[in-house]
Amino acid sequence: MNRTMVQEGILEVIHLVLMLPEADIDTELIGSSGILDSMTMIRLLAELEKRFDFTLDEEDLSLDSLRNVRSLTDWIIKSKEGELA
Amino acid sequence: MIKCIVWDLDDTIWEGTLRENADNIILRPGIEQVLVELDQRGILHSIASRNRLDQVVSKLEEFGIAQYFVSLQCHFSSKAISLRQIAMELNIGLEALAFVDNDSFERFEMNYYYPQVLTFDAQYYLELPKSPSLQVRDVTEESANRRHYMLARQQRKAAERGFQGSREQFLKECQMVLQIQQADPGDYPRIVELSHRTNQMNSLLERIDRPFVESFCQLKQHMIYVARLKDRFGDHGLIGTCFVALEGNAMKIRLFCISCRIEGRGVAAAFLYTVLKRLVLKWPQMREMHCLLARKERNLPARLLLEMLGFHKLEEQENKEYIKYQLNLPLADRTFDWLEIGE
């Protein structure tokens, strides 16, 4: 799975599940201007797990991974590689 | 803790089969009292039935009991699918659901897929309010109004789906008002209830009782804060609590519990941040804040919430059951301009 596909998949999940039609790859998801709260993050992660067929590694999960679509893409690619290794 | 009972309809809530003989259906004697009694305890009712939704709703309205049910599932798929859908819509775990059906096959199937779901044979429906798993300690204002809160939540979700603007703009239009105060004795039963009902946003996954709450308040420099939420869809009652103790130059969050009913609105962060901000204003000599967190997957949202507020992981306790978080002061300035925060 290439990076663009992962990014598009994440945006689709964000648009549909979180009802954020205006989000793009640089939209801040958390932090002072981000609107994602921690409960919503869990919903987002659960949907991403289903979408990309991987299991969330809680140890490996940091807030930095969740900042925007770019960082989420890196984290998902890394998690998928970790599962395959 | 059972938070919702999912009922079958034919030969369970009523006698007869709706699809075959709609005109001769009769409500089972005493069922309405059972529904009312459990509803007043804050236990929600839902339906999983192999019938058409419009026909079910009109029959329930005819009997005058439609108002007691939320998230109805009326279709011809497996009832296990219905229960999963109900848990998702109400944002609760499957272990918080009970299932009542007259058909032993249906009950067997439910437990085959979901052994954590408590099942009841419908013939004993009059005994349900006596079931040990359906007892609650105190009936709080929140438990008596739970169904209304849930309906308001569903109205908000529907409005959210139809809204075209930005997320922040939508939240502003909800006109949320978060009232944060120190707890008074009238709040204690609800504080206890919150500790029992919350998992994902319960920092220690701790269940406390009223004597604990009372003794905590009596200790020097120990405080309990509570948050209430209102919006244009209604009053959501007391939705969060936070226990704080001051020790030396450190403030310690001993426990926080926040209802998952209000997820998705940035309310939890606004609540904890405001509590911390008020404490800092009152005790400017404080240098750090600590919070101990149970290390369980179920409260990952609590962990992320702390990290969002700027806490960092300090150390794991030896047995690895708890993680210690710390935040060095001064507290960074944050605004939550999609809601109004009051006292």
CATH superfamily of A3-80: ACP-like (1.10.1200.10)
Quickly tell me which residue has 């990309």 as its tokens. Answer: A52
| Contact call for residues B141 and B239 (beta carbons, < 8 A) | no
Q: Convert the pLDDT of each residue in A25-49 to its tens digit.
A: 888 787 655 566 777 787 788 888 8
Tokens, residue B79 = 């009832």
Lowest average pLDDT, out of A2-11, B5-14, B111-120, B307-316, goes to B307-316
The CB-based long-range contact list for A72-75 (8 Å cut-off, 24+ gap) reads A72/A10, A72/A29, A72/A48, A73/A3, A73/A6, A73/A7, A73/A10, A73/A25
Q: Is A79 left (phi over 0), alpha (psi -120 to 50) or beta?
A: alpha
Given CB atoms, is A55 within the 8 Å cutoff of chain B?
no
Within 8 A of A22 by CB-CB distance, chain B residues are 166-167
- Distance from the Cα of B289 to chain A's closest Cα (Å) equals 19
Write down the ipTM of this complex: 0.76
Size of interface A-B (CB pairs under 8 A): 62
Instruction: State whether A39 and B264 contact (CB < 8 Å).
Output: yes
Q: Taking an 8 Å Cβ-Cβ cutoff, which residues of chain B contact chain A?
A: 160-161, 163-164, 166-168, 171, 200-201, 260, 263-269, 297, 300-305, 307-308, 334-335, 338
**pLDDT value at position B295?**
82
How many percent of chain B have pLDDT more than 70?
A: 97
Per-residue pLDDT at B297 exceeds 70: no
**pLDDT value at position A32?**
55
Between helix A38-52 and helix A69-84 the angle, nearest 10°, is: 50
Instruction: State whether A35 and B302 contact (CB < 8 Å).
Output: no
**pLDDT value at position A31?**
61
Domain boundaries, chain A: 3-80
Per-residue pLDDT at A58 exceeds 80: no
Residues 6+ apart with CB under 8 A from A20: A14, A27, A35, B167
> 3-state secondary structure string, chain B?
CCCEEEECCECCCEECCHHHHHHHCEECCCHHHHHHHHHHCCCEEEEEECCCHHHHHHHHHHHCCHHHECCCEECCCCHHHHHHHHHHHHCCCHHHEEEEECCHHHHHHHHHHCCCCEEEEHHHHHHHHHCHHHCCCCCCHHHHCHHHHHHHHHHHHHHHHHCCCCHHHHHHHCCEEEEEEECCHHHHHHHHHHHHHCCCCECCCCCCCHHHHHHHHHCCCEEEEEEEEEECCEEEEEEEEEEEEEECCEEEEEEEEECHHHCCCCHHHHHHHHHHHHHHHHCCCCCEEEEEEECCHHHHHHHHHHHHCCCEEEEECCCCCEEEEEEECCCCCCCCCCEEEEC
The H or E element containing residue A14 is: helix A3-17
End-to-end CA distance of chain B: 32
Give residues 10 to 49 of A whose Cβ lies within 8 Å of B. Answer: 18-22, 30-32, 35, 37-43
- Distance from the Cα of A39 to chain B's closest Cα (Å) equals 5
The stretch B60-70 carries a mean pLDDT of: 94
